[in-house]
Structure formats: structure tokens, C-alpha cells
Amino acid sequence: MTDTHRLSSPATLPRPAGYSHLAEVGGGRLVYIAGQVPQDAAGKLIGAGDLRAQLRQVFTNLQLAVEAAGGTFADIIKLNYYCVDAVPPSDQPIVREVRDQFVNTAAPPVSTFVVVRRLVRPEWLIEVEAVAVIAP
């Protein structure tokens, strides 16, 4: 529990694999971060065809965004993933591997993972949006 939020998973729900079931907000500013894609600040694609490299850029972009709002990655309480169906299910553990380099794995953000046909640009394999709660 922080001053602004608490992430938890009640024993009455199925045990989650790498995410929390609940995010309770008790104060602070809600910050919505638009879907981040595998592009650097200059708009250059990072990691063409490489899910791991694309994820590192996406999570770096999320970190830069939450920091620009005055927070840290620990303030992110919700992640929504949009992954293209061209990524085989066997590669999905890569998502957790990269994510775990950024989040508190003891109390990870609430998450939703959706497989989509494609994203706006066909070279993007994944896009991730976030919600953060930042202390005033």
C-alpha cells in the first residue's frame, strides 16, 4: 500500500500470473498514458520484427511518460496490452520478462492482455497503455 493506491489479489479469485486483480485508489492524481509503441523520440521504429526490443522501447516510453507527469513506474496501477496475432503464444512470456524489469513484481499493476489482428502501423508488434496514480 502506498499513500495513493493499493494493488492486491483476493484469495477468492483465481491466482493471477504476473498481475494484480485489484487497484484501489485512495488519493493522488489519475494520469492516463496513451498507448506507447516501439518508436523512439525521433519517431524511429525500434526492433523491427523483434518483440523483446519493441517491448523494451514501449516500456521505456511508458517510464518517460509517467516521469513527465511527475511520477515513477511504481505509480502505474493499470496496463493494457495490445499484441498482434502474428506474435506466437509461445513468445508471450517475453512480455512478462521485459515488464518485470520495470514493475514491482511483488505487487504488479492490474493488467489486460488483448490479441488483435494488427495495430495502426503493420511493423508494430505491441502497444501498451497505462493508468497511474501520482501523489499530489
| Nearest residue to 86 (alpha-carbon basis) of 122, 111, 42 | 122
Question: CATH class for domain 5-134?
Answer: alpha beta
| Nearest residue to 94 (alpha-carbon basis) of 79, 108, 83, 104 | 83
| Nearest residue to 125 (alpha-carbon basis) of 80, 84, 81 | 84
Task: Please tell me which residue, 39 or 9, carries the higher pLDDT value.
Answer: 39
Q: Which three cell numbers stand for residue 116?
A: 488483435
pLDDT digits (tens, 9 = 90+) for 49-98: 999 999 999 999 999 999 999 999 999 999 999 999 999 999 989 999 99
pLDDT digits (tens, 9 = 90+) for 20-37: 888 888 889 999 999 999
Residue 20 per-residue DSSP state = B
List the domain boundaries for the chain.
Answer: 5-134
pLDDT digits (tens, 9 = 90+) for 86-116: 999 999 899 999 999 999 999 999 999 999 9
Q: Taking the model in full, what pTM does it have?
A: 0.90
